[in-house]
């Protein structure tokens, strides 16, 4: 298993260091840093503070993803999933949550609200060409390889 060091700066007393729940977990849990309940009405989005900033190593990103339990039980997810945090971002990490459920959802203080995956980044350059090589799929678009 490959480990990278991420620098963590606590911005709020209520912040919790992200952590893996199991030995082989890909994502680490992110905890809300709000001091009071935040209610997300149906079909609404609220920005949830996590209370920390971080410095990722060069050539890495953090991907913020929904927690499957919140999504499947309550319809609460991220509107931009996955969200990307770049290595040069130094502001407070926040998570936008959207409530697709029929009832208001309450984000309690120190609640596990999302997960974060640290992943390597490869930057690409584009070569402008007149023709591309042929493939079996060709120009088949959405759904062209089956249901």
Average pLDDT per 10 consecutive residues for the chain, totaling 147 residues: 90 97 95 98 98 97 95 95 95 97 97 97 96 85 71
Handedness of CA 14, 111, 58, 118 (dihedral sign): positive
Could you tell me the two tokens for 85? 């945090």
Give the architecture (CATH level 2) of 26-120: Distorted Sandwich (2.70)
pTM for this predicted structure: 0.87
Spatial distance between the Cα atoms of 35 and 117, rounded to a whole number of angstroms: 25
Q: How many CB atoms lie within 10 A of CB 112?
A: 15
The whole-number pLDDT of residue 135 equals: 85
Domain ranges of the chain: 26-120
Could you tell me the two tokens for 126? 């584009």
The whole-number pLDDT of residue 22 equals: 94
Question: Which residues have CB under 8 Å from 13's CB, separation 6+?
Answer: 51
């Amino acid at each position: 298993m490959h480990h990278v060091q991420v620098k963590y700066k606590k911005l709020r007393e209520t912040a919790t260091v992200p952590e893996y729940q199991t030995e082989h977990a890909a994502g680490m849990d992110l905890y809300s840093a709000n001091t009071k309940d935040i209610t997300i009405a149906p079909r609404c989005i609220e920005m949830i503070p996590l209370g920390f900033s971080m410095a990722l190593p060069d050539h890495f990103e953090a991907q913020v993803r929904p927690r499957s339990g919140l999504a499947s039980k309550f319809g609460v997810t991220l509107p931009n999933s996955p969200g990307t945090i770049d290595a040069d971002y130094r502001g407070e990490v926040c998570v936008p949550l959207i409530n697709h459920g029929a009832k208001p959802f309450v984000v309690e203080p120190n609640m596990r609200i999302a997960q974060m995956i640290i992943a390597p980044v490869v930057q690409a350059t584009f070569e402008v060409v007149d023709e591309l090589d042929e493939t079996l799929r060709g120009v088949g678009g959405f759904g062209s390889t089956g249901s």
